[in-house]
Chains A and B, each alone.
Chain A
């Protein structure tokens, strides 16, 4: 065997596998000294009882996290920046998903809204993607991190003014980026459409937010960093690197650029949105249910296997492209290796909520998070299989990929963010959500809408892929057969947007000061009477 770059890759793969074996051995032998007691860290830092915790409707739970002396972990300044981020994220969700719906409708109503360039499919779709990724998911995820990290580290947020400035810059950059795309000014690469000049502002805003968070982690008051902290700290180090490397203009051209493009695009999902979602679920599920996760050691395996394997995954998008075979094969192998962390996370999280189904039924925020966690497992399994050359050749350039992307970015990340919002905002403003009914509307429209969306597109995409591979059939046939499924997608998407409107109304009402506050009496019956009267 001659020594090639492929050999080097094989060796590096072997090294990362060896690292994994050592890790598993260390965990098994308790070398890492992580015990199930560490899983209770999140309960200890707050003076808060274990047991079902649902501040979304129960005013008694809508209290700020405090230390033993009764001092709140979140200062008014820190609360202001969190609410700003969560509010802006909601705005981007509404705008971004509306653009997505318009783009969806255009696929089966091609003559609708084609009067001016910004309204055409190409720009609508790009604006949708950038607004939901950098606006909704990233702004919302950082908003959640601003709440989660000080809470699990039991210390106030450092530099809240810098964080607010960073948040404002980041949101302005997202708005400018979407406007630039609408005007036709883009970098011309998927996921990197926002012009690099505006990306500078986005990066500055991002650093303005991440520096306070990392500084807060540095000043933590807890002995043990809870698993959520690992995921968020990892994400906060990975994402700026990804974002800078991929956006600096002129470094990569041609096939290299395509490689970097997909390396970045897939890592935004895997090393930024996934840690945000999984990390939040690792906090929210035990917090809401009031019981620790199944196996704390397993969470260690899940985190490190993600860190080891994920960064190479994206190149499977270039199967059949002008990229060296070994790069693509490495990516395929790493994609399949992702089964390991995903199974680890699945065992941990699903065991917890599935063995507490009554709590699942009782709490809508918990339902959002639990279903989101389930969708993470589903999306990851599906994604690993889609990386195989045999499956990829059917599915890749079809709507099947779109369905998969939404399973990850929506079914997983967005649902967990919804649950996180419903849990966090009441505790910040110390009031429950004003319109309980809308929470249920939101839940059911989103779940049913997304089910329609996903099933339609997956079936339609698969049939489309088979038709495109069949030389006996005309290519137009492969497009025409998708039409009923595209209509199905628009129906599902409409329901989802409807749910987002219900969500946004609640957020708006909450931020404008409505919603019942906890009564100062310590008599549970009084609180119950209040809750009953609210309905």
Chain B
């Protein structure tokens, strides 16, 4: 169908339409993108990039916290261990190696449970010589004992071998770290540096076994009551 061309505005639209300039046409054939819009876009881009960049700093920190919290909630080890956990795991390995050495060199006499042999071999479990300052057990291992020694109210008079040739500083440290933390004992770990210090201090006397408990007490000033309260509590 064909339609007659009609005016821009029908007559029934009221007087307002008659003010229209029929030739009004503000449009260029191709208007460019206005530069203020591009400027605004550029500013927003810079702002957005900066905001995202500065926000990244918070992300790794939050992630670590989240991993820890999740691990705590589940009661499991964290997949990414912290410095403390790593140190603890290394200490566990150190102690385990000490236990193996203990089995090789010590358990024959002192027994795997550290209880010794009644009337012949003193116990290590709860012994005040074991749990005293680390120099004491180090010195005993290095030089051995030949003389009476009172452990847990029982006097033993036997011979403990001199081991400074047999065992290295590191092995002594591992064995003592295990023994001082095993069973009811809870004395601190021993390092090979500590062993070396004691070994150096005893250079001239390494082949002379300690003359019993009294010699040790005189040298290291061991208290007469057991050092470890847990050892005392044990019947």
Residues of A within 8 A of B (CB): 1-2, 4-7, 9-10, 13-14, 17, 20, 24, 27-28, 30, 35-37, 47-49, 51-52, 54, 57-58, 60, 63, 66, 70, 290-292, 294-298, 301, 324-326, 329-330, 332-334, 336-337, 339-340, 343-344, 347, 351, 355-356, 358-359, 361-363, 522, 524, 527-528, 531-532
Contacts and interface: CB of A to CB of B under 8 A. Distances in A.
B11 A17 contact: no
A347 B33 CA distance: 10
Nearest to B19: A358
A4 B59 contact: yes
Nearest to A529: B12
Closest 9 CB pairs of A and B: A295-B31, A51-B8, A362-B13, A333-B48, A329-B55, A6-B56, A6-B59, A361-B16, A358-B20
10 contacts: A4-B63, A24-B41, A30-B30, A36-B29, A36-B30, A324-B59, A326-B56, A329-B51, A339-B40, A344-B33
A4 B56 contact: yes
Interface in B1-59: 1, 3-14, 16-17, 19-20, 24-34, 37-38, 40-41, 44-45, 47-49, 51-53, 55-56, 58-59
A362 B24 CA distance: 17
B37 A343 contact: yes
Given A292-B27, A325-B59, A358-B20, A13 B48 contact: yes
B16 A301 contact: no
Given A24-B33, A347-B34, A6 B6 contact: no
B2 to A, nearest CB: 8
B79 interface: no
A47 B3 contact: yes
Most buried by B among A9, A17, A333, A528: A333
B223 interface: no
B60 interface: yes
Contacts of B75: none
Contacts of B24: 355-356
A361 B14 CA distance: 9
B235 interface: no
A387 to B, nearest CB: 11
B62 interface: yes
A20 B41 contact: yes
B44 A324 contact: no
Contacts of A57: 12
A14 B13 contact: no
Nearest to A290: B8
A298 B33 contact: yes
Contact of B5 (A24, A49, A347): A49
Given A58-B10, A294-B27, A325 B48 contact: no
A70 B3 CA distance: 11
A352 to B, nearest CB: 9
Nearest to A329: B55
Most buried by A among B5, B10, B40, B47: B10
Given A333-B51, A336-B47, A339-B44, A362 B17 contact: yes
A531 B32 contact: no
Interface residues of B, number: 47
Nearest to A347: B34
Given A291-B27, A297-B33, A7 B62 contact: no
A325 B4 contact: no
Contacts of B62: 324-325
Nearest to A295: B31
A401 to B, nearest CB: 22
A4 B60 contact: yes
Contact of B31 (A36, A334, A522): A36
A10 B47 CA distance: 13
Nearest to B50: A333
B20 A6 contact: no
Contacts of A37: 29
Contacts of A337: 44-45, 48
Contacts of A6: 52, 55-56, 59
A363 B20 CA distance: 14
Nearest to B32: A28
Contacts of A325: 55, 58-59, 62
A321 B10 CA distance: 58
Contacts of A347: 34, 37
B3 A362 contact: no
Given A63-B3, A298-B33, 17 more contacts: A6-B52, A9-B52, A17-B49, A20-B41, A35-B29, A36-B27, A36-B31, A52-B13, A297-B32, A298-B31, A301-B33, A330-B52, A334-B48, A340-B37, A344-B37, A359-B17, A524-B7
Contacts of A9: 52
Nearest to B13: A362
B9 A52 contact: yes
A332 B51 contact: yes
A309 to B, nearest CB: 9
Contacts of A27: 33
Contact of A362 (B9, B28, B31, B59): B9
A533 to B, nearest CB: 11
Contacts of B4: 522, 524
A295 B33 contact: yes
A35 B37 contact: no
Given A326-B55, A333-B52, A49 B3 contact: yes
Contacts of B60: 2, 4
A294 B16 CA distance: 23
Contacts of A298: 31, 33-34, 37
A332 B47 CA distance: 11
Nearest to B9: A52
Contacts of B31: 36, 294-295, 297-298
A457 to B, nearest CB: 28
B54 to A, nearest CB: 9
Contact of B12 (A2, A334, A532): A532
A342 B30 CA distance: 20
A275 B41 CA distance: 21
A355 B12 CA distance: 21
Contacts of B1: 66, 70
A58 B1 CA distance: 19
A17 B28 CA distance: 29
B51 A358 contact: no
A36 B48 contact: no
Nearest to B42: A21
A522 B4 CA distance: 7
Nearest to A523: B4
B40 A10 contact: no
A51 B26 contact: no
Most buried by A among B6, B16, B60: B6
B53 to A, nearest CB: 6
B28 A13 contact: no
